[in-house]
Amino acid sequence: MLAAFVLSAASVAMLGATHYYSSIKVDNAAREHAERVVANGLEQFADEIGKSSVDQTYWDEAVLYGSNRIDPKWVSDAFGRVFWEIDGFEGSILFDHRDAAVFASARGHDEAPNHYSQVIRAAKPLIASIRDRERKRGRVDVSKLVRGSQLEPITAHAIIRDEDAIFFLGASLVQPDSKAVPADRPASILVILERMDKTVTDQIGGRFLLNRPQLRLGSNPPAMGGGQAVIRDPLGRQIAAFEFDTPMPGTQLSHRLWPALALFALALLAATAWIIRAGRAMAGSLVASEARATHLAFHDQLTGLPNRARLNEGFAQLASSARRTGKQFAVMCIDLDLFKAVNDNFGHLAGDELIRLVASTIQRNCRPDDFLARIGGDEFILLQSDSSVSRASALAERVIAAIAEPVELKVGRAFIGASIGLVIVDGSPIDAQEALRRADLAMYAAKQAGRNGYAFFKPSFDRAVRHRMTMQTHLHDALASGELELVYQPQVDFAGTVIGVEALARWDSAALGRVPPAAFVQVAEETGLIDALGMFTIRRAFEDSGRWPDLRVAINVSAVQLRTGDFVDRLNALAAEVGIDPRRFELEITERVLLGDDPATVAGLNRLRALGFRIVLDDFGTGYSSLGYLQRYPIDKVKIDRTFVARVGIEPQAEAVVVAIVRLAKALGMEVLAEGVETEAQRVCLNVAGCSDVQGYLTGKPVAASEIDALIAGRSPNAQDGGDVGEDRLSA
């Protein structure tokens, strides 16, 4: 019996020791796996940053102004502000052909070149690797680029330590993409920095489902039970560690089984069977957990679709197949129209529901071997295998038609659309990043063309983007140097008496020539310069108005500018500074200002009217206005759009529309003015319809302030002399 007891005790002890050893092995395996995954993730994150600078360095203008010669203003805009304002990177450093730092930017502000002195020293191995690849590439033959060949981007990345901070560094060699001839010397190198702060740490932790991720400087071992992904600098020295709590399935199982081991002395066989079953459960749980983590790493949590990481794999597979078989495939960038309105009106939960329904809608219109991914927000990427222009067009039309159908949400019915950009890939050496960039440009072109449509990529889209960036730079300089001018177009009554003028901005650029107002206003709105442009127009109109104390002055206000929180206060302060009477001024807004019935817009317009400014609704009848809008908003006057005026006297329907607008406005106590009047017949018809106040080439072109003086004095009003009227207003 004693022997049996000893044997049982020994069996239990041996089983316990075996179990303890196994739990340690399982914990170690789980920790090592997590450490490998996180280390690979850090490397991938650094690589993504390294490639982020290619769009700015792989560019003819970058060669001309950032390498052959260093243009401080251009470098500041293209290499400094862009990466902070658009991508949110911490900073950037430009190294010239001697590998000397010649420019530095921190959070969008220019700094001395040695601002990041420790970073510059730590980046030397990174610069050396770029130079080595540059030497192997050899001298650039621009004539080959013109014939269609492409240079391979030369990038590198690293992680370095600067005092108590860890930075991801991404370096890219400045290279031409078309016709710029590089100087006969090494090219400049741009290095961008991303600080590994708590936001980045949490982002990486969320990507890999880590508990308590944190960055620790130095080389100390991790805490008991914790995981550690070692971070090394370019010289291989450990500079920090990315620590996190690792899963401990072995320890958890051990804690559950120790009480049961006490029973093994009485029921060894039963306990053994229980251990086997528990071990199997633990193994299954570990496998399931790993499978779930792998799925989340490559799939979107909201829709279950592949994410950007999985998209790169899908693109690589299709590209490999295209090179092998000679078949083409299509890349489609799908962006939802009016999605923001659904989010704003119904809330983010409704927006999430809409995204899931749209994902299902797109999938129903695809073939099984097509690849659909969601890369963020309301943007999807669709890869169509074995495609052509006709097949891609047909699929795009089906998707657009399906998405345009009303969507029934839990909170109500929503109406949206889709704009799609397409690129056909035929096995040429184009990577996923470039294909997606081109598809995104095509999608933007589809939106510009009126939304709810599709467009194929054209090389001109690239030129348009770069032209827009060039225009932004020159517009910024023009506002600073006073290159813009203000002209005024008379507004007269039926007797020909001048009752007011409309202020219009004009830009004769020394570098770009005469730039149409519609072009530079759009660039201003897209790049954040609209406030400076608008305040320039308002200030100049305020100052010039002193010449005509008996005239009203109309000034256009952009929807973007009106929605800035302090616009009314700044306008009131400027009026007091210049010393004008707000009652003499009309602020013209377009109908899109009213879209959405924004309470902040209503409040802003009411405050402006309370200050004395008159509110005028411009281009009436071409947008979204309704009787409800006119009653709800403080509108003093409506301007009949030139598209109606042009058909007056030609189409009876046009005259009926004008009569209806005039009667509606006067019934609501509003004044009416018709713009774009070019003929005496139009003017007579408008007067018969009840609209006596007009503006257009018939009664006067936009002229300088001095010519308005002459007009008031009774000299030539510079009335119509033929020619193309065009669009002569500024929505600023």
- The answer to whether the predicted template modeling score (pTM) of the entire model surpasses 0.85 is no
Higher pLDDT: 486 or 346? It is: 486
Residue 78 has pLDDT above 50, yes or no: yes
pLDDT at 726: 38
CB 692 within 8 Å of CB 651? no
Q: What number of CA atoms fall less than 13 Å from residue 609's CA on the CB side?
A: 14
The residues with which 213 forms a beta bridge, in sequence order, are none
- Least trusted range by pLDDT, from 11-25, 104-118, 126-140, 173-187: 11-25
Average pLDDT, the chain: 83
Percent of the chain with pLDDT over 90: 30
Highest mean pLDDT among 110-114, 140-144, 499-503: 499-503
Question: Three-state DSSP class for 105?
Answer: strand
- Least trusted range by pLDDT, from 13-22, 342-351, 462-471, 608-617: 13-22
CA distance 297 to 285: 18
pLDDT at 147: 58
Give the confidence band of 448 by pLDDT, cuts at 50, 70, 90: confident
pLDDT digits (tens, 9 = 90+) for 520-533: 887 887 777 888 89
Average pLDDT over every residue of 591-614: 79
Query: 686 Cβ partners below 8 Å, 6+ apart?
Result: 640, 645, 648, 658, 674, 677, 692, 694
- Residue 351 CB: number of other CB atoms within 10 A? 21
pLDDT at 146: 63
- Interior angle at CA 635, CA 629 and CA 638, nearest 5: 95
pLDDT at 1: 55
Give the confidence band of 9 by pLDDT, cuts at 50, 70, 90: low
pLDDT digits (tens, 9 = 90+) for 214-239: 888 777 777 656 787 888 878 778 87
Residue 382 has pLDDT above 90, yes or no: yes
304: exposed, middle or buried (Cβ count in 10 Å: 0-12, 13-18, 19+): exposed
- Residue 209 CB: number of other CB atoms within 10 A? 15
pLDDT at 732: 37
Residue 543 has pLDDT above 80, yes or no: yes
Check residue 225 and give left, alpha or beta (phi > 0: left; psi -120 to 50: alpha).
left
Average pLDDT over every residue of 286-303: 67
pLDDT at 544: 93
Average pLDDT over every residue of 23-44: 76
Average pLDDT over every residue of 397-416: 90
- Residue that the structure tokens 């932004």 belong to: 472
Query: 324 Cβ partners below 8 Å, 6+ apart?
Result: none
- Our separate counts of H helices and E strands in the chain read 27, 25
CA distance 209 to 202: 10
Query: 72 Cβ partners below 8 Å, 6+ apart?
Result: 103, 110
CA distance 92 to 87: 12
Between strands 238-245 and 226-232, the pairing is: antiparallel
Higher pLDDT: 81 or 718? It is: 81
Give the confidence band of 93 by pLDDT, cuts at 50, 70, 90: very high
Residue 201 has pLDDT above 60, yes or no: yes
Higher pLDDT: 264 or 209? It is: 209
Question: Three-state DSSP class for 501?
Answer: strand
User: 678, 691, 697, 685: which is closest to 648 by C-alpha?
Assistant: 685
- Least trusted range by pLDDT, from 241-245, 272-276, 610-614, 628-632: 272-276
Quick one: how far is CA 89 from the chain centroid?
14
Query: 679 Cβ partners below 8 Å, 6+ apart?
Result: 649, 698
pLDDT digits (tens, 9 = 90+) for 425-446: 886 778 888 889 888 888 988 8
For helices 268-298 and 2-52, the axis angle rounded to 10 degrees is 0
pLDDT digits (tens, 9 = 90+) for 694-710: 999 999 999 999 999 88
- Least trusted range by pLDDT, from 110-114, 264-268, 495-499: 264-268
Give the confidence band of 470 by pLDDT, cuts at 50, 70, 90: confident
- Least trusted range by pLDDT, from 7-11, 136-140, 280-284: 280-284
The DSSP-derived string for 549-585 is: TTSEEEEE--HHHHTSTTHHHHHHHHHHHHT--GGGE
Residues in the chain: 732
Higher pLDDT: 565 or 319? It is: 319
- Interior angle at CA 671, CA 600 and CA 533, nearest 5: 50
Average pLDDT over every residue of 353-371: 92
Give the confidence band of 4 by pLDDT, cuts at 50, 70, 90: low
Average pLDDT over every residue of 328-344: 87
CA distance 82 to 94: 14
Query: 616 Cβ partners below 8 Å, 6+ apart?
Result: 554, 586, 587, 588, 589, 635, 636, 637, 638, 639, 673
Give the confidence band of 329 by pLDDT, cuts at 50, 70, 90: very high
- Helical (H) or strand (E) element with 424: strand 417-425
Residue 553 has pLDDT above 90, yes or no: yes
pLDDT at 296: 65
CA-to-CA separations, 652 to 647, 658, 665, in angstroms, rounded:
8, 10, 20
Look up residue 663 and give its amino acid.
R
Average pLDDT over every residue of 261-272: 64
Average pLDDT over every residue of 183-202: 88
pLDDT at 728: 41
Percent of the chain with pLDDT over 70: 85
CA-to-CA separations, 482 to 433, 486, 508, 534, in angstroms, rounded:
40, 11, 11, 14
Look up residue 228 and give its amino acid.
Q
CA distance 226 to 211: 10
CB 548 within 8 Å of CB 587? no
Beta strands in 143-187, from DSSP E residues, in sequence order: 155-162, 165-173
